[in-house]
Amino acid sequence: MRPVGKIRNPIVVILLTIVTLGIYGIYWHYEMFKETNEFDNEGISGIVGLLITIVCGIVAIFLIPWQIGETRKRAGMPERINAIHGLWILLPFLGVFIWIVQVQNAANELWEAQGAVAA
């Protein structure tokens, strides 16, 4: 059985990122890369994703939705999200929140389809 990721509430991700002044957001990036990579041994690993996030965060904004979309396709699901979703970041203030909700919801659907349940 393949490892599946954790189902997270996108609003909790946003609130924890705000409360921790961005630290949880960096951890969340790491988890998004790690979980999708471990699921099917494809794509960018958690550590490499973390380094990309720290060194050049804007690249990670496009890579995370791309990796989730590709993982969904390999799992036989519609892609639903891809690198173009990174453009939400260009929308002042609200864009980052829309991006997090879309990315986390796409990941949640993937993990639910694999049998994961919300905590």
Q: Which two tokens stand for residue 101?
A: 């909700």
Q: What is the pLDDT of residue 7?
A: 97
H helix runs in the chain, sequence order:
10-19, 23-40, 46-55, 57-74, 94-113
Q: What is the pLDDT of residue 1?
A: 65
Taking the whole predicted model, whether its pTM rises above 0.85 is answered as yes
Within 10 angstroms of residue 57's Cβ, the number of other Cβ atoms is 14
Per-residue pLDDT of the chain (119 residues; tens, 9 = 90+): 688 999 999 999 999 999 999 999 999 999 999 999 999 999 999 999 999 999 999 999 999 999 999 999 999 999 999 999 999 999 999 999 999 999 999 999 999 999 998 87
CA distance 77 to 56: 30
Q: Which two tokens stand for residue 105?
A: 């919801």
Phi/psi for 44 (5° steps) reads -85, 135
Q: What is the pLDDT of residue 27?
A: 98
The DSSP line for 7-32 is: ---HHHHHHHHHHTTTHHHHHHHHHH
